[in-house]
Chains A and B, each alone.
Chain A
Amino acid sequence: MGRQLSFSIFRYNPNIPGDAPRMQEYKLEEYEGMTLFVALNDIREKLDPTLMFDFVCRAAICGSCAMMINGRPGLACKTMTGTLPSRINLMPLPVFKLIGDLSVDTGTWFRNLQVRTESWIHTNKKFDPEALEVRMENKTAEAIYEPERCIECGCCVASCITANIRDDFLGATGINRVGRFLIDPRDERTDAEYFEVVGSEEGAFGCVGLMACDDNCPIELPLQQQLAFVRRKMAQAGLKLDLKGMKIS
């Protein structure tokens, strides 16, 4: 016989009139190799078909299933129940808009982030279907791939003090995203243009450097390094802008 697991799960469906936030208890018997993906589906299918949560890939690569697991943000699909105590507390991620129960709207948040930071390649070149690709060093390609790996799960945002108090803060994921374009030779934006996007309190300078984000990124992006890199770049760019401003005045 496996352990008896006691789940305490946040319940609230804002679309049901009269529904109120509460914690609900469920019990399941654990078995070998059980993940929170399996456990939550078991609860839905055997105990309570109204329970809302999100899974897509169930392989820790799509970023859908982040939630607060015993107080820490993490991906439910890759969390083995065996690594948790027998009392398991599940809450939706903070910061993001609640859809219902454990399901939050990370999609809208991240789309806004892309648009605000204009996270696409800015170039004046036209695509020429006849031409070969522009050459790039493999090292450069690998360096771009590293921050590009972010799966937009929102764990860094949920654990960030700044993001929890300022709803316009880009979060580590946003700053990481900008850093990805900063090093891409195909993007023609100048440092001054990037400064417009992240050189502010909502961006690189809002971060207080406590590194909860770095500790909680499920794919272990080197966020600390990335934040420092973008901040340094922006500080330099900011300095240049100030000097330019002084010259004019």
Chain B
Amino acid sequence: MSAKNAYICDVLVVGAGLAAERSAVEAAEAGLNVIILSLVPPRRSHSTAAQGGMQASLGNAALAKGDNPKIHFEDTVKGSDWGCDQEVAKMFCETVPIMIRQLDYWGVPWNRVTAGKKKLPSGIEVEDTKDKEGLITARDFGGVAKWRCCYTSDGTGHTVQFVVDTVVCKLGIPVHDRMEAIAIIHDGETCYGVVARCLRTGELNVYLAKSTVIATGGAGRIYAASTNAVINEGTGAAIALNTGLVPLGNMEAVQFHPTGMPPVFILMTEGARGDGGYLLDKNLHRFMPDYEPKKKELASRDVVSRRMIQHIRAGYGVQSKYAPQHLWLDIRHLGRQWVWTNLREIATIAGNFNGLDPAKDLVPVVPTQHYTMGGVRTNKWGYAYGLKGLFAIGEAACWDLHGFNRLGGNSLAETVTAGYIVGKQIVKYTLGATQDFNYKLVEDFVKQEEERIKNLISGKNGKEDVFEIRDAMQQTMMDHVHIFRTGPSLEQGVAKLQELYRRSLKIGLHSSGQGANPELAQALRMPGMLRTALCVAYGGLMRTESRGSHFREDYPKRDDANWLKRTLAYWKEGADLPTLDYEPVACPIMPPGDRGYGEATAGPKGK
């Protein structure tokens, strides 16, 4: 074999974020031999950047009283605009409280209930009761009926990832970090593992496993402005798509978070509004109650983001050195003590990058790409469509907990819950599977990757510049596939992306490509990123309705008669557009209805 090393294991987990590590723990505890691959050390995965918290209906905080999995389920379905898989959502809402408590058992320092009367910024007085003192508390978040978001200050992802990683260390699960999966090995029926490129040496390795898990996170970096880490390029889902057999579900469903901070677009957590923060316009007017009298700043993210852009379009945006158009986040009234204890991370970020102190200054914000609802389509047990032995979890997957809009705090919660639920299925499947490899097949996959690398270095296919193509793709997504979408603009976007895709097949390196060359790494990812971007743009063009975060100005209404279905995008060999297929979205528990917020309820301008 031409690969440097070949590793054989029972379960190969591609990714070391929360979803990945939680599933690895499940498999290792069952006695399976597990290897984790990751671009970066686990504790640098994007999960550590999550700030606000994790939804679970523990019902301990004053305004959480009476909460239960059923209410959590209803909020999730409404949030998804009836796009989610209700069976998955039900299972998730019932399991997540146990997950939170298990994380506590493993060491997460969840903030706790302190008894006593408290006055909220809204003026309402609440009382945390003595019987709940010392139990895990929660904060308010967007689109929810109860306070349900469990947190550790605003560093929730950090503490949860660190703690799950302690369990990985304790179990001695090997992590091969700086190891990028670049192709899935399969024979058209079964997945046998991956070809991976070492980001220390540039060498190719082969990983063979009975079960392969894609847990590679989101694809935010197909957009120029994103709250995502720079490594969130969606390559895990892209290599699954590239098999031609595994579809990506609902890629047009992209979440834009109301409060990215320009000019760097780092997130200001929803917890800021959950804790009582306001959005202000250029006249320092708090405008959200005009549009959403009931939920105000705490309608779901898709709705708040649209209302913000609507308000900017109406001429109320702020023009400043931070961005040509933005609005303000105001948390000054929460008080210095609160800001620097419970919102300390974002306070630090505002200071580091804009020299602002949110305890006394307004912070510029603008809706920014934030979350990939779509991903590798799986069934409710996490089995990927199209290939045996392949699973997907976390943001990389379309398990379909989120439908067309994810609720804040449901994603971290999904990572560990799916890691647990799907983890058990992985164990079951792996114990029943046999390991037999066709070495010729494996070698062919390695050769194919070697060939790609050789051609990129020699410039055999052309001399296109990888960074130029990436920038053009990111800008196209901003211009044509953003919050407000229209048919003609999406068509132009698709055409531009197709052109860029064809050019991406003609990339040639400017450098030697030797060792762990970063230009080569980017060049290898580029065609896959463009295919992913095309799934988003083309899926959006074909979906002639508005649902959740997918908003078509030319089709502004949700259309349950025709569009209660999920998009499945396949990439056939040699194609320059995805092939779209659809499957019905069943609503067995909660029939489609009114969300209680958003344009359909509150109308174009409130009331």
Interface residues of A (CB under 8 A from B): 13, 15-16, 32-33, 35, 44-45, 48-52, 54-64, 78, 99-100, 105-108, 110-111, 114-115, 118-121, 123, 125, 127, 129, 131-138, 140-142, 144-145, 148-149, 151-152, 184, 186-187, 219
Q: How long is the Cα–Cα vector from A106 to B41 in the complex, in angstroms? A: 8
Chain B contacts of A145 at CB under 8 A? 109, 152-153, 155, 159
Chain A binder among B75-83, B242-250, B492-500, B506-514: B506-514
CA distance A161 to B8 in the complex (A): 42
Complex contacts, A134 vs chain B, CB 8 Å: 104
Interface SS majority for chain A: loop
B114 CB to nearest chain A CB (Å): 5
Are the C-beta atoms of B516 and A99 separated by less than 8 Å? yes
CB within 8 A of B517: which of A33, A49, A121, A132?
Answer: A49
B230 sits at the interface (CB 8 A): yes
Q: A15 contacts which chain B residues (CB < 8 A)?
A: 200-202, 514-516
The CA-CA distance from A129 to B113 in the complex, in Å, is 21
Partner of A120, one of B109, B135, B169: B169
Distance of A102 Cα from B37 Cα, bound (Å): 22
From B84-92, B344-352, B371-379, B559-567, the one touching the partner chain is B344-352
Given contacts A56-B45, A59-B264, A141-B110, 19 further A-B contacts (CB under 8 A): A32-B321, A56-B46, A59-B349, A100-B516, A110-B43, A120-B166, A120-B167, A129-B98, A133-B105, A133-B135, A135-B112, A136-B109, A140-B109, A141-B111, A141-B112, A148-B162, A149-B158, A184-B109, A187-B107
Check if A142 sits within 8 Å of B111, measured CB to CB: yes
> Residue A184 contacts which of B41, B107, B178, B517 (CB distance < 8 angstroms)?
B107
**Minimum CB distance partner of A144 in chain B:** B109
User: Closest approach, in angstroms, between the C-beta of A228 and any C-beta of chain B?
Assistant: 22
Question: Is B170's CB within 8 Å of the partner chain A?
Answer: yes
* B329 sits at the interface (CB 8 A): no
Q: Provide the bound-state CA to CA distance between A108 and B102, in Å.
A: 27
Which of B111, B178, B263, B510 lies in contact with A138, CB distance below 8 A? B111
Please name all residues of chain B whose beta carbon is closer than 8 Å to the beta carbon of A106 when the two chains form the complex. Answer: 41
**B137 contacts A61, C-beta separation under 8 Å:** no
- B134: contacting residue among A62, A105, A136, CB under 8 A: A136
A-B contact count (CB 8 A): 187
CB atoms of A63 and B43 under 8 A apart: yes
- A127 touching B105 by the CB < 8 A rule? yes
Residue B44 at the A interface, CB < 8 A?
Answer: yes
Give Cα A50–Cα B512 distance, bound, in whole angstroms.
8
Cβ–Cβ < 8 Å partners of B109 in chain A:
136, 140-142, 144-145, 148, 184
In the bound assembly, the distance between CA atoms of A33 and B345 in angstroms comes to 20
Q: Is the CB of A57 within 8 A of B134?
A: no
Contact between chains at A120 and B170 (CB < 8 Å): yes
Chain B residue nearest to A13 in the complex (CB): B515
Known contacts being A58-B229, A110-B43, A134-B104, is A49 close to B516, with CB within 8 Å?
A: no
Q: CA A100 – CA B198 in complex, angstroms?
A: 13
Tell me the chain B residues, 308-364 only, with Cβ under 8 Å from chain A. Answer: 321, 341, 345, 348-349, 352-353
B101 in contact with A129 (CB, 8 Å): yes
Which one of A51, A57, A59, A151 has the highest number of Cβ atoms from chain B below 10 Å of its Cβ?
Answer: A59
With A15-B202, A44-B518, A49-B518 as known contacts, state yes or no: A120 contacts B107, CB within 8 Å.
yes
Contact B112 A138 (CB under 8 A): yes
Q: Is the CB of B112 within 8 A of A119?
A: no
Complex CA gap A136/B201 in Å reads 47
Please tell me if B49 contacts chain A, counting CB pairs below 8 Å: yes
Q: Are B509 and A135 in contact (CB under 8 A)?
A: no
Query: A148 contacts which of B159, B165, B167, B509 (Cβ < 8 Å)?
Result: B159
Q: Do A61 and B345 contact each other (CB < 8 Å), given the known contacts A135-B134, A138-B112?
A: yes
> Residue of A at shortest CB range from B51?
A61
B515 contacts across to A, CB distance below 8 A: 13, 15-16, 100
A107 touches B107 (CB 8 A): no
C-alpha spacing A54/B345, complex, angstroms: 22
List B residues 132-159 near A (Cβ within 8 Å): 133-137, 152-153, 155, 158-159
Is B216 located at the chain interface by the 8 A CB criterion?
no
Contact check: which of B48, B352, B519 meets A50 at CB < 8 Å?
Answer: B519
Q: Is there contact, CB below 8 Å, between B98 and A138?
A: no
Chosen A-B contacts, 16 in total, with CB atoms closer than 8 Å, are A48-B511, A49-B519, A50-B518, A57-B49, A58-B230, A58-B264, A61-B48, A63-B44, A100-B516, A110-B41, A111-B175, A121-B106, A127-B105, A135-B135, A142-B153, A219-B348
**CB < 8 Å: which of B158, B177, B201 contacts A61?**
B158
Contact with A along B101-134 (1 / 0, CB 8 A): 1101111011111100000000000000000011
- B162 touching A99 by the CB < 8 A rule? no
Residues on B close to A: CB < 8 A?
Answer: 40-41, 43-46, 48-49, 98, 100-102, 104-107, 109-114, 133-137, 152-153, 155, 158-159, 162, 165-167, 169-170, 172, 175, 177-178, 200-202, 229-231, 263-264, 266-267, 321, 341, 345, 348-349, 352-353, 467, 509-512, 514-519
Contacts of B467 in A (CB 8 A): 45, 49
Kindly report which residue of chain A lies nearest to residue B346, judged by CB atoms: A59
Q: In the complex, A111 Cα to B170 Cα: how many Å? A: 11
Collect the chain B residues with CB atoms within 8 Å of residue A111's CB: 41, 169, 175
- Known contacts A15-B200, A56-B230: A62-B166 contact under CB 8 Å: no
Task: Say whether A50 contacts B41, CB under 8 Å.
Answer: no
The reply to whether A62 and B49 contact each other, CB–CB distance below 8 Å, is: yes
Cβ of A110: which chain B residues have Cβ within 8 Å of it? Answer: 41, 43
A134 to B101: give the CA distance in the assembly, Å. Answer: 9
Interfacial chain A residues near B135, Cβ < 8 Å: 132-133, 135
B352 to A60, Cβ gap below 8 A? yes
* Cross-chain contact of A133 among B104, B162, B267 (Cβ < 8 A): B104
Tell me the bound Cα distance from A107 to B16 in angstroms: 12
Complex CA–CA separation, A243 to B44 (angstroms): 44
Our pick among A32, A114, A184 for the contact of B169 (Cβ within 8 Å) is: A114
Question: Which residues of chain B are near A149, meaning CB under 8 Å?
Answer: 155, 158
Chain A residues, Cβ within 8 Å of B509: 49
> How far is it, in angstroms, between the C-alpha of A114 and the C-alpha of B133 when the chains are bound?
32
Q: Is the CB of A107 within 8 A of B110?
A: no
Check A60–B349 contact: CB distance below 8 A.
yes
Q: Which residues of A lie under 8 Å from residue B159 when comparing CB positions?
A: 145, 148
Top 5 closest A-B pairs, CB basis? A107-B41, A135-B134, A49-B519, A120-B166, A15-B515
CB neighbours (8 Å) of A152 from chain B are 41, 43
Cβ–Cβ < 8 Å partners of A61 in chain B: 48-49, 155, 158, 345, 349
Contacts of A55 in B (CB 8 A): 230
* A63-B44, A152-B43 known; A50-B166 Cβ under 8 A: no
Find chain A residues with CB under 8 A from B48 CB. Answer: 57, 61-62, 151
Query: A35: which B residues are within 8 A, CB to CB?
Result: 264, 353
Closest chain A residue, CB of each to CB of B227? A59
A52 CB contact (under 8 Å) in B46, B104, B162, B516: B516
Residue pair B200, A99 in contact (C-beta under 8 Å): yes
Specify which of A16, A49, A138, A219 is in contact with B113 (CB 8 Å cutoff): A138
- Residue among A50, A78, A138, A219 with the most chain B CB within 10 A? A50
Give chain A nearest CB distance to B431 CB in angstroms.
22
Q: Are A64 and B40 in contact (CB under 8 A)?
A: yes
A56:B44 contact, CB within 8 angstroms: yes
Which residues does chain A contribute within 8 Å of B136, judged by CB atoms?
133
Q: Is the CB of A58 within 8 A of B111?
A: no
Smallest CB separation, A19 vs chain B (Å): 8
Q: With the chains together, A157 CA to B515 CA distance in Å?
A: 28
Q: Is the CB of A59 within 8 A of B106?
A: no
Chain A residues, CB < 8 A from B349: 59-61
A48 to B109, CA, bound (A): 44
